[in-house]
Amino acid sequence: MTDLLLAATALDVTPPPGHRLDGYAARAGLSTGTADPLNATLIWLSTADDPGVLWLTLDAIAAGHQLCAELAEAAGAAAGIPPSHVVVSASHTHSGPSGWTGEIHPVIPAERERDLIDSLVGAVRAVRLERQPVSASWRSIEVIGVGTNRHRKNGPHDNTAGILALHSRSGSLEAVLLDFACHPTTYGPENMQYSADWPGAARAALAPAVVGFLQGAAGDVSPRFTRQGRGAAEVTRLGSLLAGRVREALTQPGLELPQSAPAIRRTTLTLPVRSIPPADESEKLVTAAEQAVLSTTEQANLPATAAETRVTATETRAPAAETRAAAADDPSGRITQTRLDGARGQALMAAANLPPALDLSVSTVTFGDVCWINLPVELFAVHGACLQSDSTHPITRVIGYTDGYYGYVVDPSAAEAGTYEALITFFDQPTTNHLIKQAADFMNT
């Protein structure tokens, strides 16, 4: 009988202080320390004669195509398998370094920092992966209270967590591959310490098992309506809530998965970049959004003047009035502020030299009845639901932020409303529809 083999480990890859953090245009300054560690987690499932799949999950805002290629080569070398069998996924924490990937969007200019990249890639390449026989099982459980749709509290959101549990022959839980859809944005732009946010807290609560975290269709999902504050205590609360539900699921029998290795398939989809409105139109949008922020601060009794709020369309750092509005952190204030960020972002896109098209790496991993479809974008919840509905696989999990990063993919309601995500997306609605259809067709072939 063929044995399913597991090698799993988590590496602390937290950079030293003094580097830029990624995730918020309103954040200024350099990192001052570590709130909780950033991990690179490797979970490799294979057999003696099949390289299977190695998931490398990273606590980062994103993993750009170049970084993914370097990490896949390093992880493949460590395991002795082709890089094409390595899947690299980012958790999307907004408290990781920008220097690993560099600029993910004109909204937040950044440069790749070779010293940080070499340290990360070197740690992955040097890891020792020792395999042991395991059994694999699948569970899915509803999780309420971590995230919701961030535009409408009762809007679309897949609130299920997918759980691939890997047990040793003796019955001990060795590793979990966990997916859930929600922005890790418990910490706000005021935070200057590295943090994996609530995914890291969930991992810690499930120790000593090695936990790899996959981010789902979270483009319009966050803790905006669920968080009770910002800081370490709230990170722990949200992560513990998710981990508690996972532990409950693990007490129940799961769907037994085969002893054969998971299989991976890959394709590339080439998508045209949308036409960006000219600079003068973007400037008008910025002006209107600034007035909305002024109105919000006045309603919240936060002093602000036009001089404090007014900036040019090409500026990305928030002035004092915006910082106060963000500090209030009420959902309506956040929505207003992010729309201003989006207007400025679109203005930056108008000034940038964008390519005519982008090549997106898409992959599927199948393991028994379970299929993960991986895309290098921030899908909205409705897109995840469409892919699941169109899937011919008994169980389908939609994973974003994988093997590259090409920003938001928005739904028609967001495009019509001109939300933050819609203003800075690279893709129009016909292209979005094409992406979802092509991804579904590939998944089902």
Q: Give the DSSP letter string of 237-248.
A: HHHHHHHHHHHH
Which amino acid does the sequence have at 365? V
In 3D, which of 432, 409, 275, 417 has the Cα closest to residue 349?
A: 275
In 3D, which of 335, 352, 347 has the Cα closest to residue 420?
A: 335
Is the pTM higher than 0.85? yes
- Domain ranges in the chain are 5-264, 279-351
The Cα–Cα gap between 384 and 158 comes to 8
The tens place of each residue's pLDDT in the chain, 445 residues long, gives 689 999 999 999 999 999 999 999 889 899 999 999 999 999 999 999 999 999 999 999 999 999 999 999 999 999 999 999 999 999 999 999 999 999 988 888 899 999 999 999 999 999 999 999 999 999 999 999 999 999 988 999 999 999 999 999 999 999 999 999 999 999 999 999 999 999 999 999 999 999 999 999 999 999 999 999 999 999 999 999 999 999 999 999 999 999 999 999 999 999 999 999 886 776 677 677 667 666 665 655 554 433 333 333 333 333 344 444 444 466 666 667 777 778 888 888 988 889 999 999 999 999 999 999 999 999 999 999 999 999 999 999 999 999 999 999 999 999 998 888 999 999 999 999 999 999 999 999 9
In 3D, which of 354, 442, 371 has the Cα closest to residue 164?
A: 371
The Cα–Cα gap between 281 and 96 comes to 33
Span between the terminal Cα atoms of the chain, in Å: 29
The Cα–Cα gap between 132 and 82 comes to 20
In 3D, which of 438, 432, 388 has the Cα closest to residue 412?
A: 432
Six-digit token pair at 279?
């600079």
The Cα–Cα gap between 348 and 351 comes to 5
